Structure 1
Amino acid sequence: MSADRAPGTRLDAYQYVTLRCVPRVEREEFVNVGVVLHCPQRDFLGVRTVVDEDRLRALHGALDLASVRGALASADRICRGEEQAAYGAALRATAYGTREAREDLGTRFGLLKAPRSTVVQPSPVHGGLTADPEATLEHLVRQLVG
């Protein structure tokens, strides 16, 4: 993305995960269905999703597409700050008991990048530099999800 930037444009670090639909966890086959991008310096956390029903049904004909769409909608609500409590983010365990979790974009990204064994799973975290997190997110979705 940096090749398209104007000279002198500030680049900031970002991290992203690809959201994967894993219809049958035991087979470890997946289809990319979204990207979550976090750029702290720009106060940006965004998600874009694309559900290709034909590709998903090719992996598992009986896949509950409504559940997949529901999980992706939940990721969107977390990015917007509307659903952290549903992911247990209201309290954080510490060595001294529990405390209230911070409410910030980094915490939300942490929830979305955490490994899980469900039908929608995050990839490992990747990173880069960007002058425009929104444009970078759109680029990653085109490249990784289709």
Structure 2
Amino acid sequence: MSPRGANATGGRELFEYAVLRVVPRVERGESINAGVILYCQARSFLAARTHLDVERLRALDSRADVAGVRAALGAAESVCRGGPAAGPAAGDGPGRRFRWLVAPRSTVVQPGPVHTGLTADPAAELDHLLDVLVR
């Protein structure tokens, strides 16, 4: 560590992220990316950004429950924010909420695998990942 307190990674911290996928017909396994969850323990940062492309969703399933999908994506964002809107997870720390959100499940909105990286700005990294992986 240098005298100014910079670490060996140039001030960047380890983060973990997972893509939120919408699987309108679970039995078919087809999906579209609709969000990203990012957790940076060193910065106590946990957030999700979502973007639902309804046209792409309808291409996979013309009868998809768009309102239900939006509600599920919104719930993931609420759990990340914590507080009363997070429901039973409200009292959990950000790391525990992240682990709960990225646990495998067989529902319409599913997390993809967890990946890692380094960043100096978790919020900007999350916006970048949303642009690259979802939009």
The TM-score, its normalising length taken from structure 2, stands at: 0.88
Alignment-derived partner of residue 32 in structure 1: 33
**How far apart are the structure 1 equivalents of 2:92 and 2:24?**
32
1:137 aligned residue:
126
Q: Secondary structure at the match of 2:116?
A: strand
Identity value in percent = 53
1:4 maps to what in 2?
none
* Residue-by-residue CA offset, 1:52-100 (whole Å, 9 max, x unaligned): 1000000000000000000011101101113241xxx58xxxxxxxxxx
What is the CA-CA distance between 1:9 and the residue it aligns to? 4.1
Instruction: Indicate whether 1:83 and 2:86 are aligned.
Output: yes
Q: Does 1:42 align with 2:31?
A: no
Shift of residue 38 of structure 1? 0.1
Please give the residue correspondences for 1:73-112 in structure 2 after superposition, counting only pairs within 5 Å: 73-81=74-82, 82-85=85-88, 89=89, 103-112=92-101
Q: Residues 37-60 of structure 1, C-alpha deviation per residue, up to 9 Å, x if partnerless?
A: 000101100100001100000000
Q: Does residue 120 in structure 1 map to residue 109 in structure 2?
A: yes
**Contact 1:84 / 1:108 at 8 angstroms: preserved in 2?**
no
Runs of at least 4 residues of structure 1 off by over 4 A?
A: none
TM-fit CA distance, 1:103: 1.8
Q: Secondary structure at the match of 1:34?
A: strand
Q: Distance in 1 between matches of 2:114 and 2:80?
A: 16
Distance, in Å, in 1 between the alignment partners of 2:87 and 2:100 is 8
Counterpart amino acid of residue 100 in structure 2: L
Equivalent residues, number: 125
- State how far apart, in whole Å, the 2-side matches of 1:74 and 1:133 are: 20
Shift of 1:25: 0.8
Instruction: Give RMSD over aligned pairs.
Output: 1.4
